[in-house]
Amino acid sequence: MRKGILLAAAVCLGLFISSPAWAVPSSAVKSKSELNQVRQQKGQVQGKIKQLNEKMKANQAELERLEKESYRIDDEILRTQQEIRQINAKLTRQQAIFKQRVRRLYEQGDFGFMRTLLTADSFQAFLTRFETMRLIVKQDRNLFDSYFKWKQAKTRYESSLVQLKAEQKKKAEEAKAAYDRMLADLKKNRVRLAELEGLEDIKEDEVRRINLSLLHSGRLSFPYEGGPLRWPANSHEITSPYGPRVHPLKGVMRPHMGIDIHGNYNDPVYAAAGGVVVRSGPSLGYGWIIVIYHGKKGGQDLFTWYGHSYENQVLVHEGDEVKRGQRISGIGSNGFSTGPHLHFEVRLGEKAVNPVLYLSH
């Protein structure tokens, strides 16, 4: 990379400036502030959308529960009505039997009743007939009363089921109305989110153009945020270390300017620290190369390089501001590569250094 690019510092606006002579233009401060405001509003709207989605999911689950409960109540009402019809049939039969017995006693009168008793062969038979007649009448009456009580109980139960179903229906209507209100609110927030995302794109483009302008003019620099670099991949497995090695494709001894980190295709590639993307484009050998400027460390400009991605995996452009741990691409096998992996370099100015010495452990 040309020295001008290496020394140029595209700044994450809002970071400290290393020299008062390199003042940030007011337009840059304004664009950065507006972008932060848009992102804050976007985050708030996204939070509302998430809450609405969760509430709507819970509401939908409640509607489904109420619907199932309504079906169960309908089945219970139908079963109860069938039982009531059966009880009515038994009640009608028992009532006819009871009336027939009473009618017979009435038609026979006291004499008929007494004749039945007095024709007994013995006093014991007399008592047996008397008790039998008493028990028959009592049993008929008790059975009749029992059926009647069952009918009353079933009727009350049916009434309670009908009332419960009415209450369930009311709850379902209220839940559906709440769902419709949330759906309308969700649509409004999605429209607002789309507006903010469009505005965010505009503001990001403004910041990117300002960064590139300042980058190419070499007017800005800022201090490194401090601390060790984070690992740029989920894997910490180094398949090829920093230093001299036999080139895997050319078969000759060549210096290896960085480390190769194991990974599968499209595993995340992360920014090792906050900074500004100063290069994102095709490069012989590296495939697609991403270079991030992180500011001055010990008086030298600190850069990190990320190689072998494919263009369709890359998520950042030149001039973009990135944060530590932000996903910037995916692991690929583009360029001089024998398989998917991340080639990662750390450079101080134009000099490549051993990345392991700067990475967190």
How far apart CA 8 and CA 93 sit, in angstroms, is 105
For residue 20, what pLDDT band results from cuts at 50, 70 and 90? Answer: very low
- pTM tops 0.95: no
Residue 134 pLDDT class (50, 70, 90 cuts): low
Task: Give the integer Cα–Cα distance in Å for 127 and 114.
Answer: 12
Mean of pLDDT values over 83-101 = 72
pLDDT of residue 1: 39
User: What's the average model confidence in pLDDT over 256-285?
Assistant: 94
Judged against a pLDDT cut of 50, whether residue 358 lies above it is answered with yes
What is the mean predicted confidence (pLDDT) over 231-247? Answer: 90
Residue 12: pLDDT band by 50, 70, 90 thresholds? very low
Mean pLDDT of 259-267: 96
| Helix and strand totals (H; E) in the chain | 3, 12
Rounded Cα distance between 330 and 236, Å, is: 15
pLDDT for the residue numbered 56: 93
Band (pLDDT 50/70/90 cuts) for residue 332 is: very high
More confident residue, 211 or 97: 211
pLDDT band at 98 (very low <50, low <70, confident <90, very high): low
Q: Report pLDDT for 110.
A: 47
Contact 212, 343 (CB under 8 A): no
Question: Does 187 score more than 90 pLDDT?
Answer: yes
- Cβ atoms of 126 and 120 within 8 Å: the answer is yes
pLDDT at 32: 82
Q: What is the pLDDT of residue 336?
A: 86
DSSP secondary structure letter of residue 92: H
189-197, long-range: CB < 8 A, 24+ apart: 189/45, 189/48, 189/49, 189/52, 190/49, 192/45, 193/42, 193/45, 193/46, 193/49, 196/38, 196/41, 196/42, 196/45, 197/42
Place of tokens 């010495």: 357
Residue scoring higher pLDDT (354 or 244): 354
For residue 60, give both structure tokens: 């939908």
List domains and CATH numbers for the chain.
54-193 (1.10.287), 226-357 (2.70.70.10)
pLDDT above 50: residue 289: yes
Name the pLDDT band for 17 (thresholds 50, 70, 90).
very low
The DSSP element (H or E) to which 284 belongs, if any, is none
Q: CA–CA separation, 327 vs 316, rounded Å? A: 9
- In the predicted model, what is the mean pLDDT of residues 43-60? 94
Q: Does residue 271 register a pLDDT over 90?
A: yes
Burial category of 201 from C-beta neighbours within 10 Å (exposed 0-12, middle 13-18, buried 19 and up): exposed
Per-residue pLDDT tens over the stretch 25-42: 666 778 888 888 999 999
